Amino acid sequence: MCLDPIKLYDKKVYQLSLISNNQLLVILSGKERMIHIKSLDRLLDRSQSPLDIKIPGTKNTTLFAVDPISLTLCVAIKNSLFVYKIYSKPQPYPYTRIFELNTTQIVTYLEISMLKINNRDEEILWYGYLSTFMAQRIDQQSLSIALLRDKDPTLKFLCEGSMGILRVIPITSQLFNFVFQIKNNPTNSMF
């Protein structure tokens, strides 16, 4: 049996993520590149839901990251990061803005994950831009931390070169794997 494809959404979609036990979609879409939150069930049956909203302060978003368990959303707009808490049940406001973080360059990598620090699970925002990996605790009890130190001579080539940030993989609270792409390299290598 073959089903014909159906059009569920009228705008160009740049990024999407399924959250809240597969009940909500977070969508980066449209000419204005705004974040929309939609009820998946209501999207499929083409009806409206009180959970269907667009977040007005997210115009010109380049990318987002969302933790499907805590429902923490981070949105990158130019040199700024905006962190929100999304609520999965109808409320007067389906989201709350937690904080804003300014960066020195346009963010090209975002991820949110849990990391055990001092025997406590902490929610961490990982972000990066050209040749820079950063970490920020969502509770903001400390400043953003650069994960590459200029003082380490073995990592100097990372800080001086033109490196595209692809991913941070925490092994422990002190040890990380960095996935990056060296730009202006004829082999276009990834490490």
Look at residues 49, 80, 102 and tell me which one is the last residue of a structural domain. Answer: 102
pLDDT of 189 strictly over 50: no
Same domain, 94 and 113: no
- Between 116 and 37, name the one with better pLDDT: 37
- Between 128 and 83, name the one with better pLDDT: 83
Position 4 confidence tier, pLDDT thresholds 50, 70, 90: low
Pair 34, 64: CB distance under 8 Å: no
Look at residues 73, 102, 131 and tell me which one is the last residue of a structural domain. Answer: 102
pLDDT at 142: 75
Q: What is the pTM of this model?
A: 0.81
The enclosing H or E element of 147 equals: none
Same domain, 97 and 64: yes
Pair 125, 114: CB distance under 8 Å: no
Q: Which among 11, 30, 32, 24 has a CA at the least distance from the CA of 73?
A: 24
- Between 28 and 130, name the one with better pLDDT: 28
Same domain, 156 and 95: no
Question: pLDDT digits over 12-54, tens only?
Answer: 889 989 887 768 889 999 899 999 888 877 777 777 766 678 8
Residue 189 belongs to a domain: yes
Tally of domains in the chain: 2
pLDDT of 164 strictly over 50: yes
Pair 43, 3: CB distance under 8 Å: no
Least confident of 21-30, 67-76, 150-159: 150-159
Same domain, 120 and 179: yes
- Residue 153 lies in domain: 104-191
Residue 1 belongs to a domain: no
Pair 54, 75: CB distance under 8 Å: no
Give me the sheet containing 34-39, strands edge to edge.
13-19, 24-29, 34-39, 53-54
Residue 156 belongs to a domain: yes
pLDDT at 149: 64
Look at residues 36, 68, 102 and tell me which one is the last residue of a structural domain. Answer: 102
pLDDT at 177: 76
Same domain, 16 and 95: yes
Least confident of 99-108, 127-136, 137-146, 173-182: 173-182
Pair 181, 189: CB distance under 8 Å: yes
β-partners of residue 13 are 29
Same domain, 96 and 121: no
